[in-house]
Structure 1
Amino acid sequence: MPTIFHDFLQQLAQTSWLEWIATLSGLACVYLAAKQNIWNWPISIISVSLYLYIFYQSRIYGDSILQIYFLLTAIYGWYYWRKRDQSDEKPISSLSIRQQAIYFAIILALGAAIGFCLDRWTDSDVPYIDGLCTSMSFIAQFLMTRKYVQSWAIWVAVDVLYIPLYLHKDLAMTAVLYFIFAVIAWNGYRDWRKTFLNTTWQK
């Protein structure tokens, strides 16, 4: 245990300034998203741009590609949130049981497909866990742009899965970030669910 703790502290000490900026901007954008603050989207552009480079250098290729997707959804999310804030639509929605089952199946199928591609055509040493986390993040991010409360539940799960992956890749500061992400995501889920239920009951 002392050796593991020592290695963790050593990783933190060797954290690059790029990872620090990516970490802090990532933390800010997730916090703002949980608070339904539209500024989470432009700040996320900074974080995902830096992580695109960091993950590629660490051979986490699924996550690297995911940052490009995050960049595009940040632009879309910024537009969509502004549009909904100016309308009479309720700000938060919820998936039906059938929709949840469909998205769950999509996550598994997409994760397996990405994992297979990474295993066959890259030098990744974590192809399938990378593929699953990438798939979950794809769906969670899309659902967040549409303001579905379940997006946060998926983020909790994927953030927890990412922690050991980043420790394996010597990205200790990012692992700490994703632990904090998991806590924020859980609070975001509770807040969004409460808001959705209150809105529904008032109708």
Structure 2
Amino acid sequence: MLEFFSTGNILVHIPLGSGGYDLSYIEAIGTICGLLCIYLASIEKTINYLFGLLNVSLFAIIFFQINLYASLLLQIFFFAANIYGWYAWTRVKQDTQEVTLKTRWMSLPKMLIWLVISLISIILLTFYIDPVFACFTDITVNVLNTVGFNIDTPTLAPDAYPFWDSSLMVLSIVAQILMTRKYVENWILWIMINVISVVIFALQGVYAMAIEYTILMFIAINGVRMWTKSAKMNQIN
């Protein structure tokens, strides 16, 4: 059973880039769950959070196997955000039994606050991304070793794209938070995240992931359209 979750358990060889790309079962299933999660969220189906939990759990296993411990920590955040989002989307008013949270646009003051927080976080992380991720990695390795794993702390190379990598991490966290609160702006951020991701993955030669994020970009564009329509209806009602 454990062998099934190994990144070495190859489903198919994809002839992309130099030497092609071996797609494992766990990556394929995790990717499908991720695509379903984003699509279902774009049409406001709460079941998206089930696929989101499966996606981040499988990706956490992948990142553990390939020694990307900081990325593993980010999946832990996404796991918690998915649980909260599921609760927030299904919470109802006691008197009317109506869903409390409805799709809407952010107010200008809230938008400015999030913009300032994002910009400051991106700038700080850009300058300190290597020591921050090294710290996260040390913490993760120590925690895993405490519960019985016997792994060595990996040697981390300097970040290839510190500004863009920092932007992706900060904007992904902000977008996930805004999605759990049903703000339309979350989809605008996901479009930006997906465009940056496609370019970076293409430059790095990871063409399979570049294709995946291209699909996600079009789903996010549809998310803006669907949630804008829903927000207008909520304003009328």
1:66 match: 74
Instruction: Pick closer, same or farther for the CA change 1:24–1:162 going to 2, 3 Å.
Output: same
In the superposition, the TM-score normalised over structure 2's length comes to: 0.73
Moved more, 163-172 or 91-100: 163-172
CA contact under 8 A between 2:31 and 2:55: conserved in structure 1? yes
Q: How far, CA to CA, are the matches of 2:62 and 2:196 in structure 1?
A: 18
1:3 match: none
Q: Structure 1 regions of 5+ residues with no counterpart?
A: 1-5
Bigger CA radius of gyration:
2
SS in 2 for 1:14: strand
The alignment's C-alpha RMSD in Å is 2.5
In the superposition, the TM-score normalised over structure 1's length comes to: 0.84
**What count of residue pairs does the alignment treat as equivalent?**
196
Matched, 1:119 2:130: yes
Shift, 1:48, TM fit: 1.1
CA contact under 8 A between 2:37 and 2:52: conserved in structure 1? yes
User: Which structure has greater helix proportion?
Assistant: 1
Code of the residue aligned with 2:54 in structure 1: it is I
1:141 match: 176
Moved more, 133-142 or 101-110: 101-110
Within 5 Å, which residues of 2 pair with 1:1-203?
7-8=16-17, 10-11=19-20, 13-55=21-63, 63-84=71-92, 86-87=97-98, 89=100, 91-120=102-131, 121=134, 122-123=156-157, 124-202=159-237
Q: Structure 2 regions of 5+ residues with no counterpart?
A: 1-14, 135-155
CA contact under 8 A between 1:84 and 1:91: conserved in structure 2? no
Shift, 1:111, TM fit: 1.8
Moved more, 47-56 or 155-164: 47-56
Shift, 1:47, TM fit: 0.9
Q: Percent identity?
A: 31
CA contact under 8 A between 1:111 and 1:135: conserved in structure 2? yes
Shift, 1:42, TM fit: 1.2
